[in-house]
Amino acid sequence: MTAKICLHSILHLALALAAMLAVANSATAAELEPKTIAAFDHYIALSETTINASLNDTQSFLWVDRLPLEARAAVLARLRAGNVVIERMQTLENGKPIDIPNGLVHYWIGTVFIPGTTLAQTLALVQDYNHQSKYYRPRVLTSRILWDNGNDYRVYLRLYEKKVLTCVLDTQHQVHYVIIDSSHAWSRSRSTEIREVAGWGNPGEHDLPVGRDNGYLWRINTYWRFQQKDGGVYVECQSISLTRDIPIGLGWLIGSYVESIPRESLEFTLDTTRQILARRESPHRLKSSNSH
């Protein structure tokens, strides 16, 4: 029986790999169309209406604060045990899903609790964009601040993802921070340019035109909240990203694979943030925190 199960798993994996390679080979013709952009922008606008509604509510600032009592207690127990809590989100319009023609929206929310740290130390780490490639490697290969003005940044990140297939992206992001008080802050990051790197690691590597690539990532917005309480800092992130749609007929085979990447990326980012602050590994933290 065990041999049959293993054989079935191997065959299923082989089919999945073949399908993903077929998608990769055919995906070069993918193009980000105006109707896809318009639908995603509409999705973002509706999502931000909900996100903004609780930004100044310091009593229910975090997602976990708005859960029913029993669920809230269970999530807080997981967070205080050192776990990252990730949940899928979905924005509806008039109670119905929003159609994204030729695209997929991936909407996740994640939270982590970091005991023994402060809001100033946490902000100093996440704003240290010149060293993100050190802290968040291998998913961030290169990072630097292109421009900053107080609580506003424009940053460049070269992102790396490998899960059977390898994807490297040159990305730029506009980031804005708001410090509400000594224990509450939030930030918003919007991608302004995403270019897939073709031939990464080879002498002839080059960026493909924006929106004319394999469609691994076309847009990504992240919405962060930071609250200092309970002897540490809660870090929450909502991630809304846009990728190309799954070709017809392959959803049953690679749908879970495609969905897993944004989730795993968010989990990695939050867990790595927790580990760095718990080990006090950021050499630039104290210098930066003095500015807050």
- Give the pairing of strands 96-97 and 92-93: antiparallel
Give the span between the Cα atoms of 89 and 153, in whole angstroms: 27
pLDDT in tens, 133-162: 999 999 999 999 999 999 999 999 999 998
| Whether pLDDT at 125 is above 90 | yes
Binned at pLDDT 50, 70 and 90, residue 215 comes out as: confident
Label residue 165 by pLDDT band (50, 70, 90): confident
pLDDT at 283 over 50: no
- Residue 113 CA: distances (Å) to CA of 122, 170, 228: 11, 30, 10
**Single pTM value for the model:** 0.85
Backbone phi, then psi, for 289, in 5-degree steps? -65, -20
Domains and CATH numbers, the chain: 2-289 (3.30.530.20)
Burial of 27 (0-12, 13-18, 19+ CB in 10 A): middle
- Distance from C-alpha of 127 to C-alpha of 206, rounded to nearest angstrom: 28
Q: Where are the alpha helices (DSSP H) in the chain?
A: 2-26, 34-53, 69-80, 119-126, 132-135, 251-279, 285-289
Specify whether the backbone of 77 is left (phi greater than 0), alpha (psi in -120 to 50) or beta.
Answer: alpha
Is residue 122 within 8 Å of residue 114, measured between CB atoms?
yes
In the numeric block, which tokens belong to residue 34? 């105006």
Residue 93 has pLDDT above 50, yes or no: yes
∠ CA 272-49-77 to the nearest 5 degrees?
Answer: 40
> In sequence order, what are the residues at sequence separation of 6 or more whose Cβ sits closer than 8 angstroms to the Cβ of residue 276?
125, 135, 282
Angle at 25 between CA 220 and CA 214, to 5 degrees: 15
**What six digits make up the tokens of 257?**
């694979």
Out of 15-19, 57-61, 199-203, 238-242, which region has the weakest mean confidence (pLDDT)?
15-19
The dihedrals phi and psi of 69, each to the nearest 5 degrees, come to: -50, -50
Nearest to 37 by CA among 105, 112, 83, 85: 105
Percent of the chain with pLDDT over 90: 71
Residue of 151, 150, 241, 259 lying closest to 190 (CA atoms) = 241
